């Protein structure tokens, strides 16, 4: 047994005993000692390890204050099925008492992790204010050395296989465990995470009511590393993405026009794939912190919005309106988190009958 883990569990057991005895001061000291000697955060990257603090704890046991803030719980977990195993973090809003709430799945970019992505996007703060769950799958380093989602590999681009199946399975497991409102499940991502979000929307349109792609690429842009680099530079996509069911959820796209990592033409291609022949409504504006933007809204014949495309002028490869607490953020741009949530919550599975079965990975 890892002596550090053993010490942690012993101290937490002491804290539990002291709390039950009413000795809160010594219990707090035991919790602080446990946290001071805990394993470094990097150890949580192992997809086969569930952090000890992810286990279910009775209501009479203390919760580590750094991991379960008063604003809600940000817990560790892991999902395993035939498609593989991945760790995740889940924000549980404090207002949840078993009612069916929405879920937003957030896919980080290369070199990022759930904590970094949550901090940069501010999605947990939004979840606190608006009462929804936020799920952050963690890419494993043994699956990709840079922790990129493998959007560019042909075996990770379709329904029922690879990472799309794994992520859909993880999403379903969380919806079932927490009684999520199946009409209001959404997915968003940045860069490689944005590309994988586009794939998930195409592959599982009956699971995700809307999709957010920030600085990403359309489904089928590449089939290997070489074609991925070409697509990222703005080259012709390797193949056209095709939704497995012939349906694509509404999609909101953000992209900086100075993005030197993923060429802005990729944002145009994501939008075009969802817009079809619809003509856009054009709006130009400026964020409160000075970034100009162009917003194009595409509607189908009924008037329903199917695509929003935001081009953030002067922005690079970064989450628009994000916080410097996380990586790859641009605080000067319009708030992508707020705009995605506005777009998401205007979309739900209204066309699905009551009790319709959820997607199967």
Report pLDDT for 10: 56
Q: Where are the alpha helices (DSSP H) in 96-191?
A: 114-121, 123-130, 162-178
Bridge partners for 190 per DSSP: 214
Interior/surface letters 14-48, b for 16+ CB within 10 angstroms, e for the rest: bbbebbeeeeeeebeebbebbbeebeeeeebebbe
Contact 159, 203 (CB under 8 A): yes
Which of 56-70, 270-284, 346-360 has maximum average pLDDT?
270-284
Q: Kindly give the pairing relationship between strand 103-107 and strand 185-190.
A: parallel
- Burial degree of 230 (CB within 10 A; 0-12, 13-18, 19+): middle
d(CA 221, CA 195): 9
Q: Which fold has domain 71-345?
A: Rossmann fold (3.40.50)
Query: Which part of the chain has CATH 3.40.50.1820?
Result: 71-345
String of DSSP letters for 222-256? -SSHHHHHHHHTTPPPSS----TTS----EEEEEE
Helix (H, G, I), strand (E, B) or coil at 183: coil
d(CA 230, CA 127): 37
Segment 253-303, tens digit of pLDDT: 999 999 999 999 999 999 999 998 888 999 999 999 999 999 999 999 889
Report pLDDT for 333: 97
Phi then psi dihedrals of residue 239, to 5 deg:
-160, 160
Segment 215-268, tens digit of pLDDT: 999 999 999 999 999 999 998 776 544 444 457 899 999 999 999 999 999 999
- H and E: helices and strands count for the chain: 9, 12
**Is a pLDDT exceeding 90 seen at residue 110?**
yes
Helix (H, G, I), strand (E, B) or coil at 210: strand
d(CA 267, CA 308): 11
Contact 103, 175 (CB under 8 A): yes
263 vs 86, 260, 291, 318, CA distance in Å? Answer: 29, 6, 19, 13
d(CA 234, CA 256): 14
Sign of CA dihedral 16, 21, 25, 26: negative
Report pLDDT for 310: 98
**Is a pLDDT exceeding 60 seen at residue 70?**
no
Residue among 354, 360, 35 at smallest CA distance from 176: 360
107 vs 148, 325, 333, 352, CA distance in Å? Answer: 10, 17, 20, 25
Interior/surface letters 277-300, b for 16+ CB within 10 angstroms, e for the rest: ebebeeeeeebeeebbbebbbbee
Least confident of 30-34, 39-43, 66-70, 263-267: 39-43
Q: Kindly give the pairing relationship between strand 305-312 and strand 84-92.
A: unpaired
- pTM of the full structure: 0.78
Paired tokens of 347 = 């979309």
Cα torsion 296, 339, 334, 236 to 10°: value is: -50
The residue ranking higher by pLDDT, 75 or 54, is 75
Segment 94-100 mean pLDDT: 93
């Amino acid at each position: 047994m890892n002596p550090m883990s053993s010490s942690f569990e012993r101290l937490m057991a002491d804290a539990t005993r002291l709390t039950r005895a009413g000795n809160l001061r010594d219990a707090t000291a035991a919790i602080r000692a446990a946290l001071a000697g805990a394993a470094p955060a990097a150890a949580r990257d192992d997809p086969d390890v569930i952090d000890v603090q992810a286990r279910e704890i009775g209501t009479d046991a203390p919760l580590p204050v750094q991991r379960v803030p008063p604003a809600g719980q940000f817990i560790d977990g892991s999902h395993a099925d035939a498609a593989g195993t991945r760790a995740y973090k889940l924000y549980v809003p404090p207002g949840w008492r078993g009612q069916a709430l929405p879920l937003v799945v957030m896919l980080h970019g290369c070199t990022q992790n759930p904590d970094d992505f949550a901090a940069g996007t501010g999605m947990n703060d939004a979840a606190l204010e608006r009462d929804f769950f936020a799920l952050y799958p963690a890419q494993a380093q043994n699956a990709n050395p840079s922790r990129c989602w493998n959007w560019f590999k042909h075996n990770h681009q379709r329904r029922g296989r690879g990472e799309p199946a794994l992520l859909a399975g993880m999403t379903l497991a969380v919806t079932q465990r927490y009684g999520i409102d199946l009409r209001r499940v959404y997915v968003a991502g940045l860069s490689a995470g944005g590309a994988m979000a586009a794939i998930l929307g195409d592959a599982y349109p009956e699971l995700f009511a809307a999709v957010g792609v920030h600085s990403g690429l359309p489904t089928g842009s590449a089939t290997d590393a070489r074609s991925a680099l070409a697509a990222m530079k703005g080259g012709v996509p390797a193949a056209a993405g095709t939704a497995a069911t012939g349906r694509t959820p509404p999609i909101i796209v953000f992209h900086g026009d100075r993005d030197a990592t993923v060429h802005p033409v990729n944002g145009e291609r994501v939008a075009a794939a969802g817009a079809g022949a619809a003509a856009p409504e054009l709006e130009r504006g400026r964020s409160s912190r000075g970034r100009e933007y162009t917003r194009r809204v595409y509607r189908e014949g009924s008037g329903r919005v199917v695509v929003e495309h935001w081009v953030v002028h002067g922005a690079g490869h970064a989450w628009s309106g994000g916080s410097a607490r996380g990586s790859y953020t641009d605080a000067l741009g319009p708030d992508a988190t707020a705009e995605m949530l506005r777009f998401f919550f205007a979309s739900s599975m209204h066309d699905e009958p009551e009790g319709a079965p959820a997607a199967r990975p």
